[in-house]
Structure 1
Amino acid sequence: MVTKRDEMEPVTDLVIIGGGPAGLYAAFYAGLRDIRVTVLEAQEELGGKLNFYPEKFVWDVGALPPTKGHIIRQNLIEQATTFDATLYTDAKVTRIKQEDNQFYVEDKKGRVHPCHAVLFAIGGGIVSPKKLKIPVHDDVKRNIHYSFPNQEMIRRKNVLVSGGGDAAVDYANECLKFAEKVTIIYRGSALKAHEASAKLFQRNGGMLIFESEIQEIQKGETCAMSLVLNNKRKVEVDHLIVQHGHDRDSTFLESLDFPFKKEEEFYLFCEEPTKTNIEGIFAAGDIQFSKGKLYLLAGVFQEAANSINQIKQYLEPESNSYGMVSSHNHKFDKKNEELIKGKDY
């Protein structure tokens, strides 16, 4: 057995590995189909890639007006809890075992989650921003950001962006809309970002510091922090945005004892969308590759719903191949009454 009995969680129908857009929407749709769900997210926050661009507008989801990433993230989390799904964060999965047609999914805290099916929704792997490994004064840590901060936080402030790639320059251009002064610091002699983005930054008044790296961050005198550079120069700023790339932990799939078919040595290849070659294990979102795949947020929702319909038939072969649409689903009767109460539609 994979663990002691007192460490075992209650048996559930489905464990979803990953709490990004695919995993969250799958949790919601599973509730529509009466599938009990546990979601395990490796990071400390739900939302997946949406956490990388919280203040950027998303335009390409049908019927959704341009909406900032953090709002979509919050809406997805609320939607995922509609039918009482169990969600864990900081719960990186360490192993999966299969015994007698039942799966046992263990997380890093030693909890084992028995289930009848598994859905991988892990995107491109566990992706984390590369963080500074230098001395930082405790009082200024809250002013260091690894994703785009709330725009009101940087309004009329002095902001420095560390990095020279597309993400760094994109963030810097966005900062120019709100901040009083924006500077890019880069260790190279020229930016690596697209030429058009780099020219836009300079044309709009952005400042550049080349062939320099931050070696220490102290408490500032005129601004929140004082950055000590490798040439002993000091630069004072209110906020620091770090864009040094991301680390991707892709060792998880390699450690499992399942002979998955893969695309490009990482993505789970599905001959039929969302069905891996291992019975009882499904995939949705960026981790899933199949013919005609659509790499858009809207496509993630399609795959999530499709995977749940496939899982429902795997768990109950006599069930319908798709769920009842929400506009005619009695599961929403009470919720609909609450929404229209006191409102004129």
Structure 2
Amino acid sequence: MNREEELFDVTIIGGGPVGLFSAFYCGMRELKTKVIECAAELGGKVHFYPDKVLHDIGGIAAITGAEFIEQVVKQGKTFSPEIVLNERIHGLQRLDDGAFELTAESGRRHYTRTIILTIGHGVFVPIKLEQAGVEIYEGRQLHYAVDDIERFRGKRVVISGGGDSAVDWANAIEPIAVKLTVVHRRDEFWGHESSVTRMRNSSAEVLTPYQLDLVAGDGDRIEHVTVRHAETNETLVIEADEVLVNHGIRGDFGGIRGWGLAFDDERIVVNAKMETNIPGIYAAGDVVTHPGKLKLIAGGFMEGPMAVNSAKAYLAPQEEVAPLYSTHHDKLIAMRG
């Protein structure tokens, strides 16, 4: 095999936080590791909210998405795994020697003894408004993600959505907006209880159960939106300068869906050891489902090392997979000098 086709112990598909932490833990286990990411940069879906402040990462009181990406990328590169960007994996074949051949959509092949899937929701795009012609405002006053929160300062802002992202952005934007209106098609929000309470107790106008019906403007700027009551069909016109739509994301697993993995409600089924139904393939993070699943990055940070430990046991079944601690790890101690 040439360098492009050399055999790795572990190939991690997905370069988000869970994949990067898994790569770090592979390094601690002295496993030859490759990380393959379909996007042009590491970090996963956190790139959708670089200015959003995360409060539920253990040991970190508060950190922005951009700062968090910087840290997990640095940590993931600690043991110098091979990193491949702009590569979407499509095909899978098990070879005669038991190793896997992964084929990318580009035609490139990768060879590995085990696989850890940390692919989140797959290749994802935000669910956009279906209104014809509204795309002329995208990237100007109509947003599906936030790359600069300051653009909302002193503006009349409408947020449509009821999940964590909508609620968190409402709490972040409310102090700097002239007026903030949050529109959700259900009475109940899906965000964390404390965040929902904070939003409801703020100056934000919360309209439920309403849905965004129409975004209108002069072709250059948005001027107002029309919202419709989900039960009575009553409509309201709300003046707006900026509109933020958080209706979720739509994932696509591509060729991975054809590998023969067991899925349940768009999630890969794993057991307590993060083992899939295919020996040698493991999964962790948002892509998996199992009893007691915790849908937090912190939960994925537990699942990743468990998947790595399972891969290690698969590769060396005669060896005991002993616990590892960074404070006692010789290479990490040497790195600190």
SS in 2 for 1:286: helix
* 1:283-324: CA deviation from partner (whole Å, max 9, x where unpaired): 122333344443332221121112112212222334440354
Aligned partners of 2:155, 2:118: CA distance in 1, in Å?
Answer: 38
- Residue 244 of structure 2 aligns with which residue? 241
Match in the other structure for 2:310: 310
* 1:273 corresponds to: 273
Could you tell me which residue of structure 2 aligns to residue 159 of structure 1?
157
Change (3 A) 1:242 1:293: closer
Contact 1:160 1:240 in 2 (8 A): yes
TM-aligned CA deviation for residue 93 of structure 1: 1.6
Q: How many residues align?
A: 317
Is 1:96 the equivalent of 2:99? no
Contact 1:20–1:48 at 8 Å: present in 2 too? yes
Aligned to 1:255: 258
- Distance verdict in 2 for CA 1:207–1:326, change over 3 Å: closer
Paired residues of 2:141 and 2:222 also in contact (CA < 8 A): no
CA–CA separation in structure 1 for the residues paired with 2:334 and 2:3: 37
CA distance, structure 2, for counterparts of residue 7 and residue 334 of structure 1: 29
Q: Relative to structure 2, which stretch is displaced further, 323-332 or 288-297?
A: 288-297
Work out the CA distance in 1 between the residues paired with 2:212 and 2:243: 18
Equivalent-residue separation in structure 2 for 1:236 and 1:291 (angstroms): 44
Question: Of the candidates 13, 27, 32, which is equivalent to residue 17 of structure 1?
Answer: 13
Please say if 1:48 is aligned against 2:49. no
Counterpart CA distance in 2 for 1:242 and 1:330 is 48
Instruction: Specify whether residues 265 and 155 from structure 1 end up closer, same or farther in structure 2 by C-alpha distance, changes over 3 A only.
Output: closer
Residues 1:165 and 1:292: Cα distance change in structure 2 (over 3 Å): closer
Report matched runs for 1:177-192 at 5 Å.
Answer: 177-183=175-181, 191-192=185-186
Deviates most, 45-54 or 20-29: 45-54
Q: State the distance in 1 between where 2:150 and 2:262 align.
A: 47
Letter in 2 for 1:17: I
Worse-superposed segment, 199-208 or 172-181 = 199-208
Shift of 1:49: 4.0
Instruction: Give, in whole Å, the separation in 2 of the partners of 1:156 and 1:216.
Output: 19
Structure 1 segments unaligned to the other structure (5+ residues): 220-224, 338-345
Question: RMSD value over aligned CA atoms?
Answer: 3.6
The residue aligned with 1:81 is 77
SS at match of 2:38: coil
Identity of aligned residues (%): 28
Is the contact between residue 223 and residue 240 of structure 2 (CA under 8 Å) also seen in structure 1?
yes
Offset of 1:16 from its aligned partner?
0.8
Question: Relative to 1, partners in 2 of residues 1:228 and 1:304: Cα closer, same or farther, differing over 3 Å?
Answer: same
TM-score w.r.t. the length of structure 2 is: 0.77
CA offset at residue 84 of structure 1? 1.2
- Output the amino acid matched with 1:117: T
Displacement of 1:120: 1.1
Contact 2:48 2:145 in 1 (8 A): yes
Q: Distance in 1 between matches of 2:296 and 2:135?
A: 38
Partner of residue 111, structure 1: 108
User: Offset of 1:61 from its aligned partner?
Assistant: 3.3
Q: 1:37 to 1:134 in 2, by over 3 A?
A: farther
From 26, 29, 32, the equivalent of 1:33 is 29
Q: How does 1:66-77 map to 2 (within 5 A)?
A: 66-77=62-73
Cα drift, residue 155 of structure 1:
3.0
Structure 1 residues 228 and 42: alpha-carbon distance in aligned structure 2, compared to 1, 3 A threshold: farther
Q: What runs of 5+ residues in structure 2 fail to find an aligned partner?
A: 227-234
The Cα shift of 1:144 comes to 4.5
Alpha-carbon separation, structure 2, partners of 1:236 and 1:308 = 49
Q: Distance in 1 between matches of 2:248 and 2:266?
A: 20
Structure 1-normalised TM-score?
A: 0.76
Q: Is the alpha carbon distance of 1:314 and 1:203 closer, same or farther for their aligned partners in structure 2, counting shifts above 3 Å? A: closer
Partner of 1:156, secondary structure, is coil
8 Å CA contact 1:58–1:69 kept in 2: the answer is yes
Deviation at 1:143, TM superposition (A): 5.5
Are the structure 2 counterparts of residues 134 and 335 from structure 1 closer, same or farther at C-alpha, using a change threshold of 3 Å? farther
Q: Quick check: 1:269–1:276 contact (8 Å CA) kept in 2?
A: yes
Offset of residue 176 of structure 1: 1.0
Matches within 5 A, 1:320-339: 320-322=320-322, 324-337=324-337
Structure-to-structure mapping, 1:221-232, within 5 angstroms = 225-226=221-222
Q: Distance in 2 between matches of 1:131 and 1:328?
A: 49
One-letter identity of the residue aligned with 1:134: G
Could you say if the C-alpha distance between residues 324 and 70 of structure 1 is closer, same or farther in structure 2, counting changes exceeding 3 Å? same
Retained in 2: the 8 A contact 1:165–1:193? no
Q: d(CA) in 1 for partners of 2:198 and 2:272?
A: 45
* 3-state SS, counterpart of residue 38 of structure 1: strand
